[in-house]
Amino acid sequence: MSQKYSPALTQLSDEEQLFRDTVRRFATTEITPLVRQMDESQQMSTAILRHLFQLGLMGIEIPETYGGSEGSFFDAILAVEELSAVDPSVGVLVDVQNTLCINALRRWASEEQKKAYLPRLAADTIGAYALSEAASGSDAFALETRAVKVDDTWVLNGQKLWITNAKEAGLFIVFATIDRAVGYKGITAFLVEKDTPGFALGRKEDKLGIRASSTCELIFRDCVVPASQLLGEPGKGYKIAIETLNEGRIGIGAQMLGLAQGAWNHAARWARERRQFGRPIADFQAMQFQLAGMATEIEAARLLVYNAARLKDAGQEFLKEAAMAKYFASQVAERVASLAVEIYGGSGFVKDYPVEKLYRDAKIGKIYEGTSFMQLQTIAKLTL
């Protein structure tokens, strides 16, 4: 049965509001001055990474016993939204860390693995999630990276593509097949550390947007992983991937929501300051209506994203709502960022102003962690 929307969906508790305001203040004061530099250099600031750990934003749902913040999934969504309003590159780094890597470990890791890795992920280690391959995109389980059992180890061979956080990561959740003949039932997850022999970073992608977020190829050549590094059970990697990606879609929805809000904030400020024909362009009804329509779509996206996150925290079904949130928020982000460029006029087309970057950043929202077509397929399957 479809879940009902709460009339208080966007109302935050005092603790949530304080957390959101803290992240917003950090993003505005610390990240804003570095946005253009990070975009042009295609490099995440080490100072920003350090501050993210110090604020507890890299281990939001990790229990305090492992050195984490012991927050909620909704807290992680708020953090991704606020960071992305300033720089979606920072937003997706925090998103992958929390909604994919940490959630996978919290649910599927052994107690020994949790003790080994959760404190590190909370303190100083970035995680990456390695599923995609050249022939394995929307068909996520067509992967060809292989794992062969040799005594008490697994030997991995293959390549991964489009891996977010790869350059900065110290720990990788890697999906490989142990038996291609059985299809998705052969997929298995492994915990691979950056310095593991036989593992290397390959090409770093030169991207259209979110350029400060590293996206790299991973290469495995007789990469020997101890049997103790297997995450979950052999052949159950598909379940880990499905469950974490369902949650990750809400995170991308939050990233796109934050991006749209950031673009709107810039556009509204520009409209109040930019004067034509002797008065601010915000005085013209056409401009007011455009900004009003953008604000309405952003609020609708926020309701979808928050609802999906609240359902997840409540332990209720959220698959359809996650797909809707990711699909709609990515549509809104691209549309709002495009209109923001138009509101800036010629100034919006140059890098001296922030909306040009947000417009470039928005495009990926319809593509990664499940394309818009895949979200629509999920929505159709669950509603028809």
- Beta partners for 156? 147, 223
224 touches 198 (CB < 8 A): yes
Tokens read off for 365: 């929202």
Cβ neighbours of residue 218 closer than 8 Å, sequence gap 6 or more? 130, 159, 160, 161, 163, 166, 172, 174, 199, 200, 201, 202
Q: Within a 10 A sphere around the Cβ of 274, how many other Cβ atoms? A: 15
Q: Any catalytic annotation for residue 369?
A: yes
CA–CA dist 210, 90 (Å, integer): 8
CA–CA dist 102, 98 (Å, integer): 5
Instruction: Quickly tell me which residue has 């693995």 as its tokens.
Output: 113
Angstrom CA distances, 384 to 3, 95, 137, 304, 326, stand at 16, 31, 25, 19, 19
119 touches 66 (CB < 8 A): yes
Tokens read off for 239: 């379940």
Counting runs of H as helices and runs of E as strands, what totals does the chain give? Answer: 12, 10
Cβ neighbours of residue 37 closer than 8 Å, sequence gap 6 or more? 45
148 touches 190 (CB < 8 A): no
CA–CA dist 325, 304 (Å, integer): 5
Tokens read off for 132: 């995609």
Tokens read off for 201: 């970073």
Helix axes 237-273, 285-313, angle to 10 degrees: 150
Active-site option among 168, 247, 356, 369 = 369
CA–CA dist 372, 323 (Å, integer): 9
Strand, helix or coil at 196?
Answer: coil
Query: Which of 351-363 are b and which e, b meaning 16 or more Cβ less than 10 Å from the residue's Cβ?
Result: eebbbbbbbbbbb
- Which positions are catalytic? 369
